[in-house]
Every structure is written in C-alpha cells, then in structure tokens.
C-alpha cells in the first residue's frame, strides 16, 4: 500500500559470540542510540551496552552491519531486526525526503538514524519523564526507576519495570527517582495501562488522531509526549513531535511546514531535523 515504507528481511549471520544483522550506510548505531529517542544505552568498549525488551544487550557497529552479542539468528530476525529498524528500507525513505531540497542538509547529517520500535510501556513512561527535561537527567531517572522496580537480570542490569510493578505505588515510593513533579504522572500511566483503558492493542486499532487523543487521557501526556510515544513505541512513523530544536530549525529552513507527501514518514524527517538542529547547537 504505502510505497515509501518498504519492509524486507535483512541478511543475518552467526559470527563469533553473536550475530550480525546486515545494514547499509543508512544505519549508524551511534546516531540511532544518541539521538534522544532511547535512554537505556551507554557507550562501552567499542560499542554500546543497554537493556531492551528485558534483555541485556551488547552492540557494535561493524562494516557488514549490526553486531549483537549472545543472541540467536531467530531472535535477531524476529525481535532485533524490527527493533532497530533494520527490516525497513531507509534509503528509499531518504530519497523521498531529499526530494525536498530544504531537507537535504538535515537528512545528510542524520541519515544513519533509525527509529527504534521500543516497548510501548517503556516508551510511555520514558517520555513522560522526558517532559521539561534533558537527556542526561532523563537517563538518570530511568536508570533509578529500573534499579528500584525492574527485574534484576543475571548480569546485574535491570529490566524496565512492568506496569504491574508500578501499579499501586504512591509518590513516596517514587521519591528515590528524584523525578520532580512527574511522579504522579508515572503512577497515572501505570494505572491506565493496568486497568486496561490505554493499551498498545487499543492504540494499534485506532487511527492516528484517535490514538493520540487516547494517549492524552493519561495525566502527564500532552501532544508532544503523545507523538513521541506513537513514534518510538508504536511504530507510527507519521508522528511528528515538535520540540524547541525542531521549532527553531523548521522556522529557519521550512516555515511552510512539511510537504504533504512526506506525512507517512514525518517522524523520520523530524528525526533528521532534530539531529541537524542539535549538531548546529553543539558547534556554536
């Protein structure tokens, strides 16, 4: 149906100690993990370590693609290729986006960014925490949330807490997180999810605007957070969260807004713009 977004099965091969999922030059592990869409990965040795989907991961960018330690080819195919967007033809999307000349510089600076398909509840809570906040601090709060309420994995890392693990807690229980006024929002989100009013299944069955409205019934979820959750946690690539950086760079390079034909992949265009804007602010 949608010609811009094309899925395929990437080559996956077992190597010493793990697997490599084939990836082209439209994949950068660093840019993907450091672009502000996820908060649980840290640089380690020549790669990244972190936890996703309840599993500790060690990742490296290799010439042939993404190396993942200690996973099977089946897991790579079913879980990790979709998780890292390596089953999606980003070159095709890039070519569509750069048909708009104004987006070319942004796209070129960020074309290795993939939109992750993170777990819904983790994304919901993470982006509630992200509101009015900065990435280093968000990472700290999420770390303490996992440490306090997540399952301890065998290597000492912690899984992201389940909704049930947070359900029924009070704001005093969340004091160790030092998350400020967001404590009550975290509790509200867990309640809505556990009591079945806001679920991934429900969101998936709704059109974009209805899904966004449903998410915004959670206290602490406004339009920006809702768009982030749909983009990073529900694989809705049409979501377009706008923050200060995006607003600034949009005003400068495309005040007329995104062209209509890019709407299905607005989230990827947004990521390119975001990356570009952050690079600019780093330089100055």
Partner DNA sequence: GACCAGGCGTCTT
Partner DNA sequence: AAGACGCATGGT
Catalytic residues: 224
Least distance in angstroms from the C-beta of 133 to DNA: 5
> For binding to DNA (CB under 7 A), which residues are involved?
130-137, 140, 178, 180-182, 185, 216, 218-226, 243-244, 281
Closer of 21 and 230 to DNA (Cβ): 230
Phi, psi of 75 (to 5 degrees): -60, -40
Q: CB burial class (10 A; 0-12, 13-18, 19+) of residue 136?
A: exposed
Least distance in angstroms from the C-beta of 172 to DNA: 12
Query: What angle do helix axes 101-110 and 90-97 make, rounded to 10 degrees?
Result: 150
Closer of 5 and 221 to DNA (Cβ): 221
Classified as helix, coil or strand, 1 is coil
Residue 158 DSSP symbol: B
Please report, in angstroms and rounded to a whole number, the separation of the first and last CA atoms in the chain: 43
Which contacts of 256-259 are long-range, i.e. CB under 8 A and separated by 24 or more positions? 259/100
Least distance in angstroms from the C-beta of 136 to DNA: 4
Who's near 120: CB < 8 A, 6+ residues apart? 200, 203, 229, 233, 234
Least distance in angstroms from the C-beta of 176 to DNA: 11
Least distance in angstroms from the C-beta of 162 to DNA: 23
Closer of 62 and 144 to DNA (Cβ): 144
Tell me how far the alpha carbon of residue 27 is from its chain's centroid.
15
Closer of 154 and 244 to DNA (Cβ): 244
Who's near 56: CB < 8 A, 6+ residues apart? 49, 50, 153, 155, 157
Closer of 17 and 222 to DNA (Cβ): 222
* Cα→Cα distances 189→63, 88, 173, 219, Å: 41, 30, 15, 7
């Amino acid at each position: 149906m949608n010609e811009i977004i094309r899925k395929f099965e990437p080559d996956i091969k077992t190597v010493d100690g793990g697997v490599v999922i084939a990836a082209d030059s439209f994949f950068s592990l660093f840019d993907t993990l450091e672009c502000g869409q996820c908060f649980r990965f840290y640089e380690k040795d020549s790669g990244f370590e972190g936890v996703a989907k309840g599993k500790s991961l060690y990742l490296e960018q290799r010439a042939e693609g993404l190396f993942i330690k200690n996973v099977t080819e089946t897991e790579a195919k079913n879980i990790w290729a979709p998780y890292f967007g390596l089953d999606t033809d980003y070159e095709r999307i890039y070519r569509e986006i750069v048909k708009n000349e104004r987006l070319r510089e942004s796209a070129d600076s960020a074309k290795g960014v993939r939109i992750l398909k993170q777990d819904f509840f983790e994304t919901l809570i993470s982006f509630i925490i992200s509101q009015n906040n900065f990435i280093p601090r968000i990472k700290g709060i999420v770390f303490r949330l996992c440490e306090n309420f997540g399952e301890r994995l065998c290597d000492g890392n912690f899984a992201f807490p389940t909704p049930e693990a947070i359900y029924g807690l009070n704001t005093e229980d969340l004091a160790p997180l030092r998350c400020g006024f967001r404590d009550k929002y975290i509790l509200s989100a867990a309640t809505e999810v556990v009591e079945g009013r806001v679920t991934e299944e429900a969101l998936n069955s709704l059109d974009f605007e209805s899904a966004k409205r449903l998410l915004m019934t959670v206290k602490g979820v406004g339009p920006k957070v809702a768009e982030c959750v749909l983009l990073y946690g529900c694989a809705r690539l049409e979501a377009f969260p706008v923050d200060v950086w995006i607003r600034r760079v949009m005003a400068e390079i495309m005040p007329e807004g995104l062209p209509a034909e890019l709407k299905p992949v607005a989230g990827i265009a947004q990521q390119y713009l975001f990356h570009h804007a952050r690079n600019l602010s780093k330089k100055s």
